[in-house]
């Protein structure tokens, strides 16, 4: 699948954090491209660097970040090394983020209306007009009695409603890029489906690109066109949803898909897992990062694997990428 | 909000009533015969008996307590044994001096301590943060009577910048304010550090919360985030503590009023204890108790005004 006109181009991004044990290399040589209007999923288990990736894109890395290299080009401008002022101009204007836990994402002492009006501070419109837009977007996310509820506080809404408020807030800014950081993880299954449908519908409406971070394979398959698989701070495989789910080439992707409860057909007493633990990111082992846990490892795995292109847009970082085809 | 305010005020009334009853009951446990103390060693047994009858001291304790409570409710706090004046009037006369001292002390310490705490939290780990930290802890560690005595020695006696004694001329607010400088420095100094530490700690907690991250992700200005989004939450525990602190300040005021020879409730209580003027001690303690309850009530109402979760909780 050809990559459409670029909006976000992450090129060889590496990020390290200073810790008492030494520098923790949270992201290493991550490259990922996103086109305009495209929905890209990023899948990975906890600690694989998903949040660091988001924080790098929105320029909100923690204070103990000690090394940042590579490029994040957003609409032609490099975010890496950009002044705080310019970064802040991008945030909430061209790049907006929805976070994981809707229960804590909203300010508890400010009313919904206040918070949703506050984020429109860049618009040169009257408070009345801002409020009208707020109501309009709350209605778009199907908030009943939107106008009456403007004066209410976050604790008066349920989790699903709060996440819809967050989505409405994000869309109010009409971003070019919407980053959804596990927006459905804290919600129960029925709400999850609702939120994903809503996201897709609104994405069509506004035409923004969406970077959808999740560890829920089904949600990614449902929503995204392309997907990147992350493991221990590296993108190990990326490609179209179809390629990744039907013909995964990296052993980690293959194990991950085996573990997806949605794809397990027969009844089992024990759910499959990937044995072993994440490698220590302070003392990175040489060679392939997945080697210790890989069922297909062989002697060459002690060398760093090349990124093999399987087909247009489908790449995997494994020595055996060409061999590991599904029958 | 109205429902919360009514409930909280009702609670305050109950608390006041209970603490008054406890206070009144405590009189019963003061050792010694009040008649002997008040009439002196030369009084005859008949005089003591008559006095007891007049004061109702021959009645059972529970009736004495009920009577006293009834009188307190009508505003009768008894009579000053030495001057025969109404205790209520004596205390109320002294109250403005103490209130002025407490208000200026808490005022300047809040105006300085809260911004310092915010500043330290926003620039956490910086040199400025550490300096604020050291100064805060030092100011907390200094007892207010030490500050009072040394402040007096340095600024009044040696440098002559401020008056040594009194509360200033009645009807001359500037002169009264001038007389308040050193006492309020002594009473308020510890609070500057205390407030700075408290605000810093709760600001740091709030600033690390998810909703602040969301506000940043929406590109809101740091100023808006610090003062509107974070401080509004971080200030709530501080306000509640301030409510109790203002009540507690009465005890610091005792020292300041004695050292600076100021009139005030603290000094009134001190003098009344030295002269065994129990009705005045009782009356003054009752009034300060009521004041304490009022302060905590006000603090809770302000906190509820800031935090919608509290309003719907009680």
Domains of chain B: 2-73 (no CATH), 95-311 (1.10.3720.10)
Q: Cβ contact (<8 Å) for A108 and B218?
A: no
Look-up of token digits 């061209």: A94
Task: Name the residue facing A99 among B125, B214, B228 (closest C-beta).
Answer: B214
B-chain CB neighbours of A156 within 8 Å are 308, 312
Torsion from C-alpha of A199, A203, A208, A212, nearest 10 degrees: 30
Q: Tell me which chain A residues have a C-beta less than 8 angstroms from the C-beta of B232.
A: 109-110
Give A86-142 as a DSSP string: HHHHHBTTTEEEE-S-HHHHS-TTS-HHHHHHHTTTTS-S-HHHHHHHHHHHHHHTT
- Within 8 A of B229 by CB-CB distance, chain A residues are 107, 110
What Cα–Cα distance (Å) separates residue A173 from each residue in A119, A123, A180?
Answer: 8, 9, 14
Residues A166-190 have pLDDT tens digits of 988 888 888 899 998 888 877 777 7
Partner-chain contact A104 B210, CB within 8 Å: yes
User: Is A58 within 8 Å of B217 when comparing Cβ atoms?
Assistant: yes
- State both tokens at B143: 């007892």
- Protein fold of A6-94+175-317: Rossmann fold (3.40.50)
Residue of B nearest to A86 (CA): B219
pLDDT average, residue stretch B159-164? 77
Which is it for strands A39-43 and A226-231: parallel, antiparallel or unpaired? parallel
Tell me what percent of the residues of chain A surpass a pLDDT of 90.
Answer: 17
CA atoms within 13 A on the CB side of A281: 20
Beta bridge partners of A21: none
* pLDDT, greater one: A319 or B1: A319
For residue B46, the model assigns a pLDDT of: 83
Q: What is the pLDDT of residue B234?
A: 92
Contact A287, A234 (CB under 8 A): no
Contact between A310 and A316 (Cβ < 8 Å):
yes
Q: Average the pLDDT over each of A272-276, B84-88, B290-294 and give the range with the smallest value.
A: A272-276
- Computed over every residue of chain B, the mean pLDDT equals 83
**Cα–Cα distance measured from residue B297 to residue B122, given in angstroms and rounded to the nearest whole number:** 31
- Select the more confidently predicted residue: A215 or B239: B239
Give the predicted TM-score (pTM) of the model: 0.78
* Chain B nearest CA to A33, separation (Å): 21
Q: At CA A243, angle to CA A302 and CA A198, rounded to 5?
A: 120
More confidently predicted of A109 and B177: A109
* pLDDT tens digits, A213-233: 988 888 888 889 999 999 988
User: What 8-state DSSP symbol labels residue A32?
Assistant: E
Task: Examine the pLDDT at A276 and tell me if it is beyond 90.
Answer: no
Average pLDDT rounded to a whole number, residues B161-185: 76
- pLDDT for B284: 85
Name the average pLDDT for chain A: 86
Supply the pLDDT for residue A2. Answer: 45
- Residue A327, pLDDT > 60, answer no
Per-residue model confidence (pLDDT) at position A39:
92
At a CB cut-off of 8 Å and minimum separation 6, what does A299 contact?
none
User: What confidence tier does B4 reach under pLDDT thresholds 50, 70, 90?
Assistant: confident
Reply yes or no on whether the pLDDT at A3 is more than 60. Answer: no
Percent of chain A with pLDDT over 70: 97
* Residue that the structure tokens 């490259």 belong to: A31
pLDDT at B202 exceeding the cut of 90: yes
Helix axes B2-27, B61-73, angle to 10 degrees: 140
Å between A223 CA and nearest CA of chain B:
23
Higher-pLDDT residue of A249 and B182 is: A249
**Given a cut of 90, is residue B201 above it in pLDDT?**
yes
> Residue B218 is nearest to which of A63, A96, A153, comparing CB atoms?
A96
Closest CA in chain A for residue B207: A107
d(CA A89, CA B220): 9
Distance, CA of B303 to CA of B305 (rounded, Å): 5
- Dmax over CA atoms of chain B, in Å, equals 85
- Nearest Cα residue in chain A from B218: A92
Rounded Cα distance, A248 and A296, in Å: 14
A95 contacts A88 by C-beta, under 8 angstroms: no
Q: What is the pLDDT of residues B19-74, one digit of tens each?
A: 888 877 776 666 666 667 667 777 788 888 887 777 777 777 778 778 878 887 78
* d(C-alpha B200, C-alpha B191), whole Å: 14
The strands making up A65-74's β-sheet, listed across from edge to edge, are A22-35, A6-19, A65-74, A77-78
Provide the pLDDT confidence category of residue A326 given band limits of 50, 70 and 90. Answer: low
- What is the distance of C-alpha B211 from the center of its chain? 35
Mean pLDDT check: name the lowest of A262-266, A292-296, A311-315, B304-308: A262-266
Beta strands in A77-165 (DSSP E): 77-78, 95-98
Contact A107 B215 (CB under 8 A): yes
10 Å Cβ neighbour count for A142? 12
Token code pair at residue A214: 């999740």
Across B293-311, average pLDDT: 89
DSSP symbol at A29:
E
Beta pairing class for A39-43 and A209-214: parallel
d(CA A208, CA A35): 10
- What's residue B34's pLDDT? 66
Tell me the C-alpha distance between A96 and A81, whole Å: 19
Q: Which of B219, B309, B312 is the closest to A92 by Cβ?
A: B219
Rg of chain A, C-alpha, whole Å: 21
Domain boundaries, chain A: 6-94+175-317
Reduced to 3 states (helix: H, G, I; strand: E, B; else coil), residue B44 is: coil
pLDDT confidence of residue B130: 92
Strand partners, A41: A212, A227
- Furthest-apart CA pair in chain A: how many Å? 68
If you count residue pairs, one on A and one on B, with CB atoms under 8 Å apart, how many are there? 75
Cβ atoms of A318 and A250 closer than 8 Å: yes
Residue with tokens 């991250």: B213
Confidence at residue A1, expressed as pLDDT on a 0 to 100 scale: 43
**Touching check for A85 and chain B: CB below 8 Å?**
no
pLDDT tens by residue, A32-75: 889 888 999 999 888 788 889 998 998 888 888 888 888 898 88
Interface test with A, best of B4, B205, B214 (most A CBs within 10 A): B214
- Least confident range of A32-46, A196-210, B143-157, B291-305: B143-157
Q: Average pLDDT in the A79-87 region?
A: 86
According to the model, what pLDDT value does residue B125 have? 85
pLDDT at B33: 67
Q: State the first-to-last Cα distance of chain A, in angstroms, to the nearest integer.
A: 21
A61 contact B CB<8A: no
List residues of chain B with CB under 8 Å from any CB of chain A.
125, 209-211, 213-221, 224, 228-229, 232-233, 236, 306-309, 312
């Amino acid at each position: 699948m050809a990559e459409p006109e670029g909006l976000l181009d992450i090129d060889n991004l590496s990020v390290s954090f200073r810790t008492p044990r030494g520098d923790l290399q949270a992201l290493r040589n991550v490259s990922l491209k996103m086109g305009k209007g495209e929905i890209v999923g990023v899948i990975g288990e906890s600690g694989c660097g998903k949040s660091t990736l988001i924080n790098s894109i929105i320029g909100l890395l923690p204070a103990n970040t000690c090394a940042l290299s590579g490029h994040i080009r957003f609409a032609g401008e490099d975010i890496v090394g950009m002044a705080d002022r310019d970064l802040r101009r991008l945030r909430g204007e061209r790049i907006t983020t929805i976070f994981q836990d809707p229960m804590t994402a909203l300010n508890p002492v400010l009313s919904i209306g206040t918070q949703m009006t506050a984020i429109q501070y860049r618009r040169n419109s009257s408070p009345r007009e801002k409020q009208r837009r707020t109501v309009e977007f709350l209605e778009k996310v199907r908030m009943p009695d939107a106008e009456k509820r403007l004066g209410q506080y976050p604790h008066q809404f349920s989790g699903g409603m709060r996440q819809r408020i967050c989505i409405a807030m994000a869309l109010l800014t009409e971003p070019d890029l919407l980053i959804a950081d596990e927006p459905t993880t804290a919600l129960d299954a029925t709400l999850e489906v609702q939120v994903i449908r809503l996201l897709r519908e609104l994405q069509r409406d506004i035409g923004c690109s969406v970077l959808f971070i999740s560890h829920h394979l089904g949600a990614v398959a449902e929503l995204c066109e392309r997907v990147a698989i992350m493991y221990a701070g590296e993108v190990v495989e990326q490609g179209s949803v179809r390629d990744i789910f039907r013909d995964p080439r990296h052993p980690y992707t293959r194990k991950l898909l085996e573990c997806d409860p949605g794809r397990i057909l027969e009844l089992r007493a024990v759910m499959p897992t990937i044995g072993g633990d994440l490698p220590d990111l302070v003392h990175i082992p040489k060679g392939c990062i997945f080697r210790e846990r890989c069922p297909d490892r062989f002697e060459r795995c002690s060398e760093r694997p090349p990124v093999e292109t399987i087909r247009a847009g489908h790449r995997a970082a494994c020595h055996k990428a060409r061999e590991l085809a599904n029958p | 909000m109205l429902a919360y305010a009514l409930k909280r005020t009702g609670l305050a009334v109950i608390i006041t009533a209970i603490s008054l009853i406890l206070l009144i009951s405590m009189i019963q446990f003061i050792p010694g015969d009040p008649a002997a103390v008040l009439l002196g060693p030369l009084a005859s047994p008949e005089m003591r008996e008559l006095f007891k009858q007049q004061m109702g001291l021959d009645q059972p304790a529970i009736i004495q307590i009920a009577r006293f409570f009834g009188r307190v409710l009508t505003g009768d706090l008894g009579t000053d044994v030495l001057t025969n004046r109404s205790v209520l009037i004596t205390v109320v006369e002294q109250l403005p001096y103490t209130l002025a001292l407490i208000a200026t002390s808490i005022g300047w310490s809040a105006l300085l301590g809260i911004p310092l705490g915010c500043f330290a939290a926003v620039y956490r780990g910086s040199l400025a943060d550490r300096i604020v930290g050291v100064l805060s802890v030092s100011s907390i560690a200094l007892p207010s009577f030490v500050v009072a005595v040394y402040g007096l020695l340095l600024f009044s006696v040696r440098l002559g910048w401020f008056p040594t004694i009194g509360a200033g001329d009645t009807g001359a607010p500037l002169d009264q304010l001038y007389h308040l400088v050193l006492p309020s420095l002594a009473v308020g100094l510890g609070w500057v550090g205390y407030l700075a530490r408290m605000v810093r700690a709760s600001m740091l907690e709030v600033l690390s919360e998810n909703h602040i991250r969301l506000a940043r992700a929406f590109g809101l200005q740091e100023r808006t985030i610090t003062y509107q989004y974070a401080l509004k939450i971080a200030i709530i525990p501080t306000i509640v503590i301030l409510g109790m602190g203002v009540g507690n300040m009465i005890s610091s005021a005792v020292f300041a009023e004695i050292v600076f020879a100021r009139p005030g409730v603290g000094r009134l209580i001190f003098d009344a204890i030295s002269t065994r003027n129990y009705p005045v001690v009782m009356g003054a303690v009752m009034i300060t108790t009521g004041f304490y309850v009022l302060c905590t009530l006000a603090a809770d109402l302000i906190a509820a005004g800031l935090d919608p979760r509290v309003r719907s909780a009680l």
